[in-house]
Amino acid sequence: MTTQNPFGRSITAEEIIDSLGFFDTWEERYKYIIDLGKELPAMPDAEKQEDNLVKGCQSQVWITHTLDDQKFQFNVDSDAFIVKGLLGVVLAAYNNKSASDIKAFDIEQYFDAVGLIKHLSPTRGNGLKAMVNKIQLLAG
């Protein structure tokens, strides 16, 4: 299932930065981010367990992973459309990457380039940081 995930493969962090630059308003950018979430493969209900929940998110967010040839393959889901899109933004940076690539990636610079944090509510921003922290912890 995780091999179908386009994030970190055909949908990259650079592509998201470029795509968001084409939109004039944040309303258009949010629509694009929500559409990104629709590209996420479905997470089996069996993986939506308490120990896969991300603490600190306003919405329910689940993250699981497998390793394939030393590269992390993440499976994610949320009960909120915008959060699924935000997960897509995060996975574009982290999916199909090695632990050292995940640790080396400057996520703050990426979020600055996207202009995301300043356009999210404080609780949504904290949730985004919680998602990133969970992935970074999984990468060791």
State the CATH number of the domain containing residue 52: 3.90.1010.10
Strand-pairing partners, residue 97, are 72
Q: What is the CA radius of gyration of the chain?
A: 14
Catalytic residues: 57
Amino acid at 20: L
The whole-number pLDDT of residue 3 equals 46
Q: Are 21 and 13 in contact (CB under 8 A)?
A: no
Structural domain count of the chain: 1
Q: Are 128 and 116 in contact (CB under 8 A)?
A: yes
pLDDT, mean of residues 16-24:
94
C-alpha 137/C-alpha 140 separation (Å) is 5
Q: Is the pLDDT of residue 20 over 90?
A: yes
The whole-number pLDDT of residue 2 equals 40
Instruction: State the residue range of the domain holding 63.
Output: 2-138
